[in-house]
Structures are given as structure tokens and as C-alpha cells.
Amino acid sequence: MTFQAPKGTFDWLPPRSERALAVREAMSAPARLAGYGYIETPTFEDTALFARGVGESTDIVSKEMYTFEDKGGRSITLRPEGTAPVVRAVLQHGLHNGRLPVKLWYSGNNFRYERAQKGRYRHFSQVGVEALGAEDPALDAEVILLAVDGYAALGLTGVRLLLNTLGCKECRPAYRAALQGFLRGLDLDDATRQRAELNPLRVLDDKRPEVQAQLAGAPLVTDHLCGACKAYHEEVRALLTAAGVSHTDDPRLVRGLDYYTRTTFEFVHGGLGSQSAVGGGGRYDGLSEMIGGPALPGVGWAIGVDRTVLAMEAEGLFGEEEPPGPVQVYGVPLGEDARRRLFLLLTELRRAGVAADMAFGGRGLKGALKGADRSGASYAVILGERDLAEGSAQVKDLASGEQIAVPLAEIVTTLKERLTT
Ligand code: AMP
């Protein structure tokens, strides 16, 4: 019997897996330049952290969590998102008692029991940033710019920024009530009615056409903002515009997690079909208190690594060619003594920073040279018993076919020179 990866999961295999690494690298580089430190939290947490932090009425908590009881009888949940764990860690270690804002970035896997389709998986990977302990429109703008610059560094041109504000605890209750009043007058199924009572903003996020059609006249949060929220939002927009970041105001943008306040945003890409969000985030000033901490404002985002790779592929950023093979030099030993000597030579080459591999398993010259071609290496080093007796090896340029004998003691310097010119 052979096994398959579980439904909704997939394997990143080389050479395509390099693309995922490139996305993680590019999306975290701007954060590192802006003083964000790397944080790694456990892959699982107490279930209650997500139930309280993400919100009982969200799809994530009500339907999608991988929850189980461990052998000690604790309820454990595989991390469905990265923000609540980061805030938990900040509070646990008192990072918020030091210099503010606390700036952190992370990279890791998340787990959600979702309906699997292209771009939506049960196991997926995110890079995220969080900045805690300051409520400042410049911090919201900084955080957004970190993502904008990351996408730009990857060469993506089709990412659009959708921007909204959700108000604060002063102005949101009145908006919530107005929206609830409106939703009560619509023709909705029981589950959606229930949701309208629990968390009416989330109904705006309902993607079903029969629901969307009825939402055309829904009251907009932007018409119910208090003065402070309005001014805050205007400042975020002005800072983004000054930094050359274009954005689209989307007063319906609410996102799927309960903890957002004020600035909310999403990055979407046109080349991905229905799963168009490549990243999203916002301000979550109430989250710390929801999980038992002091008032601690925060703002952050998470970008989907898998979907960002799909977006880059949709834009043709990797071309037709697969990335070049990972080695520069390929060793071809002919005979046991030659194998031992070549093994040492390859070790020397690698220690000198040259990527090198060799034929394993006692293949003949023809098979080993085929391996050399497949490896994508620029040079083969062929070592036979006679070469060994003469203290030299054959260095073959695999592009031109030219072959020369080089003394064993000079192989490393010769190859290093040739590879750098
Ligand atoms: P969220 O935590 O839901 O705000 O998601 C942030 C980003 O993570 C989204 O914009 C997606 O790019 C990515 N993402 C969320 N859920 C999934 C999933 N099930 N599969 C793949 N990517 C996802």
C-alpha cells in the first residue's frame, strides 16, 4: 500500500519549492529592514486562545479548527492563524513592558479544515508581521508598505490593495446596530440570520450571489465613523499616497476574524480565480484584552506563501524554464580508489563554497555522464584509475564538451576561477 498526502494538503517538491523559499525571503526582508525581529511560536496552542482571540462566531473557530485532546487531557488546536499566538507570546514574556512598539515577524504553517480547492488548502504557509504597543497611523502605513515592497521585490505587478476601516469601540456599536436593523429586513437563511445577530459585519463578507444581491443598500461603516476614526483613516491614506502606494477604498471589506478595529486591508490578485486574496491584515486593538492581557493596540498582516507563488506563476514570473540545477560541479569516479579520492575532492570543493555532487552507486562512465548532464552542473570532474596514478583529473566543460587534465592539487582553484568568470 502506498500513502497519499492528506486531502487538502500537498508537497512542495524541488525545483518548484525554491519558489516558496523565495517568497518567504522576499516578504520578510522589508520587515527585517524596519526593525522587526523573528518570532517562532508552537504549531499548537490551547484551544481557548483561538476560541477567545479569533472569535467563536468566525468560520475558523466554529468549523475549521483541528482540535484534539492530548494524552494529558488538554484541548489543543493546531494553529489556524498567526496573530493570536504572537500576542499570547508577547504577553507571556512581557515584551510589551520594553521598548514600544514591539515589532515581530514570523513564517510558519497554518491549519484550517476548509473546503479544499486550488489556492485553498487545509495546511498552508504564511509570512506575517505584527507591531504591538502603539496606535499611530504611521505604523499602520508602515506595516502596509512592508507588504507592498515585498510583493514588488518579487516582481509582482498585479497585486491590488483594498483598504477599509472598521471603526473603534466608540463608533462601531452604532454602525453594528444600523447594519443589524438592515439585515433583519432581508430574506436570509437561518444560519445567516443567526450570524447577523452574533456578528453582523461578517454577513457583508458572505460571497453567495443571492446574499450579495441583497446587500447593495447596506449601511456603510464609513458613514458611521467617529471623528477620531475618520481622522486616523485619512492619515493612513495620506501616508500611503505620499509613499506612492495606490489603493482602492472598499467599505465592505470586513475580513474573517473578529479582532479587527480601524484599519483593515487585503491584497488581492486577479490571476487566482475565486481565491484572490494573497494577503491581508489590519489593526486589532482589542485582541490583547480578549485573551486576558492589558490594553495593547496592534497592527499586522499575514500573506499566503502558497497563493503568492500561484500569483507569480500566473504573471509568468518564472518563465518556461525550470530554475537551474542546484550544483555547479559533478564528480564522475571510475573505480573504487578514484571514488575515495573524488569524495574528498568534492568535500574540499563544497568547503570552498562550490556546489558539488557526484555519481553514486557505482555507475559506469556513460550513466555517470548522463547524471552530470541532468544535474545542471557546468563542469564534470572525471577521475579514472589512470588519472589517479598520474595525480590529475579530467575537467570537462559540459556546455562546450572541452576536456582538459588538471593536477588534483589545482582542481579547487581552477574550478573556482572558471565558475566566477
Ligand atoms: P487570513 O489569516 O485568513 O487573513 O489569511 C491571510 C492570507 O493567508 C490570505 O490572504 C491567503 O493568502 C492565505 N490563506 C488563508 N487561508 C488559506 C488557505 N486555506 N489556503 C491557502 N492560503 C490561505
Pocket residue to mutate for ligand 1, from 54, 79, 110, 260, most atoms within 8 A of Cβ: 110
Reported as a single tens digit per residue, the pLDDT across 337-362 is: 999 999 999 999 999 999 999 999 87
8 lines ligand 1 (CB under 6 A): no
Query: In terms of domains, do 128 and 277 share one?
Result: yes
Query: In terms of domains, do 270 and 374 share one?
Result: no
What grid cell was written down for 264? 483593515
Q: Are 359 and 332 in contact (CB under 8 A)?
A: yes
Q: Are 126 and 110 in contact (CB under 8 A)?
A: yes
Is there a domain that residue 177 lies in?
A: no
If you measure from the C-alpha of residue 161 to the centroid of ligand 1, how many angstroms do you get, rounded to a whole number? 15
What grid cell was written down for 140? 499602520
DSSP letter string, 19-83: HHHHHHHHHHHHHHHTTPEE----SEEEHHHHHHHT-TTSHIIIII--EEE-TTS-EEEE-S-SH
Nearest atom within ligand 1 for CA of residue 307: 12
For residue 138, the SS3 value is: helix
C-alpha 45 chain-centroid distance: 20
Q: In what order do the strands lie in the sheet with 44-46?
A: 44-46, 75-78, 67-69
Cis peptide before 209 (omega within 30 of 0): no
The candidate with the shortest Cα–Cα distance to 291, out of 53, 77, 82, is 53
The total number of structural domains that make up the chain:
2
DSSP letter string, 284-303: -TTHHHHTT-----EEEEEE
Model pLDDT, residue 320 = 61
Query: In terms of domains, do 107 and 140 share one?
Result: yes
Helices 137-153 and 227-242: angle between axes, nearest 10 degrees: 30
Indicate whether 411 pLDDT > 60: yes
279 lines ligand 1 (CB under 6 A): yes
Nearest atom within ligand 1 for CA of residue 267: 10
Nearest atom within ligand 1 for CA of residue 119: 21
If you measure from the C-alpha of residue 119 to the centroid of ligand 1, how many angstroms do you get, rounded to a whole number? 9
Mean pLDDT of 183-206: 90
Indicate whether 201 pLDDT > 60: yes
Q: What is the CATH number of the domain that holds 385?
A: 3.40.50.800
307 lines ligand 1 (CB under 6 A): yes
Query: In terms of domains, do 105 and 30 share one?
Result: yes
Q: Would the pTM of this model clear 0.85, i.e. be above it?
A: yes
Model pLDDT, residue 324 = 56
pLDDT grade for 89, boundaries at 50, 70 and 90: very high
For residue 375, the SS3 value is: helix
Model pLDDT, residue 325 = 62
Q: Which amino acid is at 324?
A: P
Strand 379-383 and strand 329-333: pairing? Answer: parallel
Reported as a single tens digit per residue, the pLDDT across 360-370 is: 987 888 999 99
Is there a domain that residue 299 lies in?
A: yes
Q: What is the CATH number of the domain that holds 39?
A: 3.30.930.10
27 lines ligand 1 (CB under 6 A): no
Residue 384's domain spans which residues?
329-419
